[in-house]
Amino acid sequence: MQAPNMADMTFLFRNKGNVIIKPRKLIPLIKAVGRLTFIVLFPFPIYCQAWDAYFPLQGPGSESIRIFEPISSNRIFIGGVYDDHFSPGGENLPLNGSKELFFGEWDANGQNTWIAAAGSPDIETLDAAVVRADGTYILGGRFFDSIQFGAGSITSDLGSDAIFLACTDSEGELCWSFAIQGTAYKALGGIQETETGDLLVVGAFNGFLYFEDVPTLSSGSGTNCFVARFTANGLFVEATQFESSLDSGLEELLITDDGQMYLAGYFNDTLYIGTDKLVAETQDQDLFITKFNPESFTPVWSRHLGAQYDDQLAGISWYEDKLYIGGSFLGVLNFKTGTLDDITTPGFNNNGFLASLSSEGVPLSLAGFGGLQDENVSCFNFSSGKPLWAGYYTGDPSLVGQNLPTAAGFSFYGFAGSWKDTTWPWAVSLTTDDQAFIEQIASDELGQVWVSGFYKSNVFFDGVEETSGGFSDAFFGRLNPLFTPVSEVINPESIILYPNPTSAWLYLDSCCPLEEIRIIDQWGRNCSIQVKGQTINLEDLPDGVYYIQIKTQGALQWHRIIKH
């Protein structure tokens, strides 16, 4: 089996502000006392740590990264929310109400180059962003009554919540803005810029939806999806909707390099997209994917992907003339057209899925991953041929080809990795005593993989503990480009460990001389043990799950053991 990733520690980190410094490599220390060998176990040189660097964004309240986009190998755009005094990059951001927005750029060393804030006495959300070639930024989200951006503000004339589109500079000052208002519920799903510079905006609404103070769309009794077009300067052009009998929403908007446009979202009960009528088999949430013509502003085709229980959309991506859809599902998942086999979760729990379609809407593949407990996918995208995943799990994630630590008790462990077909070439885990989430994953122009998320209480990066400065802290980090889990290179039958589980001693039966042994716990921390010949004394270790790495004849093997 393969190595658990939290154990891949060549370096330890120490925190200096928002920058993590890497000291020199540690040297294995072995002391022999008579016939009893005490091994202080440090990583073998063949491994590197999973994290190249990580950067906490800490404050006394709750901080969360909502927008995370590597612009280049040394420019990262980040936007999020905070609810207490917050000073990322050393600058004190204003606190006007219960929730504020922040946005800015960081470099590859975790240093902030500029940062701005927006807010009001009420609650705001930040849901989408576009980094433009002219140096401006398009932000989108929700606000109540009014929201302040620098010296400018955006106001809802209806005196209720509204969707904002804000074009700002790097000082956080408004270049232009637009408020999409309505009489009831409304939400922003995404923003994309076309080759001509137009802005396409998608989301959901109930009741009347106003553009330029005119009730342009009406949903009737259900919650409908909407698609709207604006000019590069924020002037409203047109809008259309997909009608639902119950509940629906557009969450993903993708424009390919050759100008094709795809939309994806969710619905319950019945959804009308052009002349297509999609019907959910139950009133649980199903997914839909639509090819949309941005010139005629009409759908081309629509497809329905549904499970017997809820399924969640994590992202869509275009690669090698195929549209890929990733997310989570519960129960039996299938396309409602085509001949692909169903996939099923092994228990009453969430698993991940990956589906693909041709540009004509023909279902090409459908596969799932996961075990008997939850694997929840927060983000999915394709980058340089790599399907990248991020999320969190409980219990044993059961990722084929990986052996990530089992989430202890009621903890949520974050995970990130790459998966396609049937196995995971690589995956990393964020362990914690409480909750850790990896929410976004992306790669930069050099192919380096970046992630962002947040954690409560504490989290372990390659076994090094970070504790939260408040209720929860945000973080972003870069995974080590040299990190490649070692595949099984020893005959599994060449080493036998028994008894397992054990309360004290573990015996090894090996036909080859043992060169090195190390044991780590579920949090990726090295454990000091006593070894006598082919016998390991575990009496001093607390009860729990451990991983033992054995090196013999230059090869490595991993085993999972239980101490009780």
Strand order in the sheet with 146-149: 63-72, 75-82, 100-106, 112-119, 146-149, 152-155
Pairing of strands 386-393, 375-383: antiparallel
For 193-215, the pLDDT digits (tens) are 998 999 999 999 999 999 987 88
- % of the chain at pLDDT higher than 70: 86
Dihedral sign (CA 96, 97, 101, 102): positive
Q: How far is CA 421 from CA 58, 366, 381, 418, 503, in A?
A: 38, 9, 15, 10, 39
Backbone angles phi, psi at 88, to 5 degrees: -70, 135
Backbone angles phi, psi at 406, to 5 degrees: -75, 130
One-letter identity of residue 414: G
- Give the pLDDT of residue 480: 82
Radius of gyration of the chain (CA): 25
Pairing of strands 161-168, 152-155: unpaired
Angstrom distance (rounded) from CA 480 to CA 15: 18
- Degrees to nearest 5, angle at CA 376 with 374 and 381: 150
CB 53 within 8 A of CB 478: yes
Chain length of the chain:
564
- DSSP H helix total and E strand total for the chain: 0, 50
H helix intervals, 190-318: none
Angstrom distance (rounded) from CA 270 to CA 274: 13
Task: Give me the average pLDDT of each 10-residue run along the chain (564 residues).
Answer: 32 28 26 31 42 93 95 95 89 88 95 94 94 96 94 86 96 96 94 94 96 88 95 96 95 93 96 95 90 95 92 95 96 93 92 96 96 94 89 92 86 94 88 95 91 96 90 94 49 70 85 75 73 84 82 67 85
- Give the pLDDT of residue 482: 63
Q: How far is CA 48 from CA 23, 28, 485, in A?
A: 14, 15, 9
Q: How far is CA 229 from CA 141, 213, 235, 288, in A?
A: 16, 16, 9, 21
Q: What is the pTM of this model?
A: 0.79
β-pair partners for 498: 507
CB 270 within 8 A of CB 244: yes
Selection from 99, 18, 15 nearest residue 63 by Cα: 99
Angstrom distance (rounded) from CA 359 to CA 375: 29
- Give the pLDDT of residue 166: 98
Full set of structural domains in the chain with CATH: 5-49+488-563 (2.60.40.3080)
Backbone angles phi, psi at 5, to 5 degrees: -70, -30
Tokens 């929840």, located at residue: 376
One-letter identity of residue 87: S
One-letter identity of residue 433: D
- Give the pLDDT of residue 17: 30
- DSSP code, position 176: E
Show Cβ contacts of residue 74 under 8 Å, excluding neighbours closer than 6 positions: 107, 108
- Give the pLDDT of residue 544: 82
Residue 40 in tokens: 């202080």
Selection from 237, 213, 240 nearest residue 227 by Cα: 240
- Give the pLDDT of residue 556: 61
Angstrom distance (rounded) from CA 191 to CA 203: 9
- DSSP code, position 184: S
- Give the pLDDT of residue 559: 77
Angstrom distance (rounded) from CA 551 to CA 45: 12
Give the distance from CA 370 to its chain's centroid.
16
End-to-end, the C-alpha distance of the chain in Å comes to 23
Residue 505 in tokens: 């001693």
